Structure 1
Amino acid sequence: MPDILQEETRQKDVMDPARGAALQTTLGLPANIVEGSKLPPFFHQIYFWQPEPAPCLGRDGHPKTGIGLIPDLGLPRRMWAGGRLEFHAPLLAGTLAEKHTTVAEVSHKDGRSGPLGFVTLKHDIHQQGRLCLTEYQDLVYREDPAPDAPKPQAPAAATDEDHAEEASFTSTLLFRYSALTFNGHRIHYDLDYARDVEGYGGLVTHGPLLAQLLMLMAERQLGTLKRFSFRATSPLMHFETATLCWKSDGRMWVRGPDGRQCMQAEAA
């Protein structure tokens, strides 16, 4: 098992209202966040940037593993596989916040496509002397696919939702979301890299972007969001229209245009 190079990181950030309003605009929402506004759930993703100089980036545009919290697992491909969030109190725009991050778990496993590395990060965000948010972020690392490797079969999505909304994506939307979250992963904006190096059929819609849309839908359904968990099950390309699905018991999922399940989630 690789050694953890750091036990934790601590970051401070004033939750800039303009950046929050920019994400609202990117998502097609009214840009009404001002100083003192309660930030919508998951908007903390656009804060606490960790910029690294170019020599510290991997081939995919992400910071290299082995130089911070995440150990070098010897696997080149990275994916945000899912996460779990507990919302204790609203985060406020224009107010200083502090984020504490620790490594909760590191493990290896042999999958059908080869060795896999799993890292779970725990993030606690405090503001005005209280814990506002606890988040567990699940990352998976894997090898490059063999040229003749069969594509993994995606699970079929349910069709018995109580409410559904369609969501479309463009390369511009993906680029703007990458910019706001300071996500340099090239699968979201570099078509040649996504297709020729990582084997995708197009630009990959961010898993956190899908989760963001599901959280906003859940908030509209529930009024207040206390807990949310999600797991990515199949990548969605930027040219595909997705269906965001809600079940009255809090189950949610993203259905691709061919009926496959791209994400499953649960809200409360």
Structure 2
Amino acid sequence: MTKSITLTDPMDPARMVALAATLGIDWQNGQALPPFAHHVYFWQPQPQARLGRDGHPKVGGDGLIPDFGLPRRMWAGGRLRFHADLHAGVPTEKRSTLLKTNEKQGRSGPLAFVTLQNEIIQNGRLCVTEEQDLVYRPEAVDSAPAALKPAPVEADETVERRFSTVELFRYSALTLNGHRIHYDRDYATGVEGYAGLVVHGPLLAQNLMLMAGPGLAAFSFRGTSALMDFETARFCREGNEMWVAGPDGRLCMEACRTLA
């Protein structure tokens, strides 16, 4: 049986005002929400006892995602189609469905892949269709690092960005993302094995979508390497292909836009 849940949200304009301030963009109430801004809505707060050690809600139980016994979670990528504008202050529905799961053996041990689908409906109209790809991994182990994919060098447009710890904290708060890799340096480095705080994959994708320009009809993205808080990234576009490059030239995220 397909598992799904439905949430409703009044879409408080104040939350979008806070997101605009965090992203450094202009937005006035009455304007359409920018692409991907629905992620600051549809919170599902859980009591402390229902959180895992990483700060995320525990998987299994009554939620959509089963418990694979793998403690490390990563949002690997996603695909979005934008059918109509969303507006703040209008009650909105989000229907989430577990599309598929897949378990396999990776280089560092077992992996579990999950795909969720979200349908965002406002005034009875489907406005956004989104698929999220999540990966669950085993404990961090000392092993040879995976080969890093180099980012393209040539681009029509390039913007440099570095994310402060304050920006990471604010984005975590606005999206109710308790994952400690984004704000707890001791946890990120000592438990999960990262070199620093991890910049949210969705925050990278959000910045690419803002860079994609008006008339965005569809957008897909895939994370390839984590970006740390102490690194300056290059956000690039060449035609409809987009990407984020780390300071060492590695590819951190690749994406593709479709304009209406």
Matches of residues 214-229 of structure 1 in structure 2 within 5 Å?
214-219=208-213, 223-229=214-220
Asked if 1:115 is matched to 2:106, the reply is no
Matches of residues 113-262 of structure 1 in structure 2 within 5 Å?
113-146=108-141, 148-219=142-213, 223-248=214-239, 250-262=240-252
CA offset digits 1:158-190 (Å, max 9, x no partner): 011111011111111000000000000000000
Amino acid at match of 1:98: E
Paired positions, count: 257
- The TM-score, its normalising length taken from structure 1, stands at 0.94
| Structure 1: 5+ residue stretches without partners | none
Q: CA deviation at 1:259?
A: 0.3
Give the match for residue 17 of structure 1: 13
Q: 1:55 aligns with which of 30, 49, 55?
A: 49
Amino acid at match of 2:97: T
Give the match for residue 94 of structure 1: 89
Partners of 1:80 and 1:25 lie apart in 2 by 24
Contact map agreement 1:20 1:33 (CA 8 A) in 2: no
Amino acid at match of 2:7: Q
Q: CA deviation at 1:106?
A: 0.5
Partners of 2:148 and 2:229 lie apart in 1 by 17
Amino acid at match of 2:254: Q
Asked if 1:64 is matched to 2:58, the reply is yes
Contact map agreement 1:125 1:131 (CA 8 A) in 2: yes
Asked if 1:43 is matched to 2:37, the reply is yes
Amino acid at match of 2:129: T
Q: CA deviation at 1:247?
A: 0.9
Amino acid at match of 1:259: G
Q: CA deviation at 1:151?
A: 2.1
CA offset digits 1:136-163 (Å, max 9, x no partner): 00000000122x3122222110011111
Q: CA deviation at 1:50?
A: 0.6
1:226 counterpart SS class: strand
Give the match for residue 24 of structure 2: 28
Partners of 1:33 and 1:171 lie apart in 2 by 26
Q: CA deviation at 1:21?
A: 1.1
Q: CA deviation at 1:14?
A: 1.3
Superposition CA RMSD, Å: 1.0
Q: CA deviation at 1:109?
A: 1.1
Partners of 1:108 and 1:252 lie apart in 2 by 29
Range with greater deviation from structure 2 (154-163 or 229-238): 154-163
Contact map agreement 1:17 1:33 (CA 8 A) in 2: no
Amino acid at match of 2:92: A
Contact map agreement 1:188 1:206 (CA 8 A) in 2: yes
2:171 counterpart SS class: helix
> Between the two proteins, what is the percent identity of the paired residues?
59
Amino acid at match of 2:255: A
Range with greater deviation from structure 2 (150-159 or 257-266): 150-159
Partners of 2:199 and 2:98 lie apart in 1 by 26
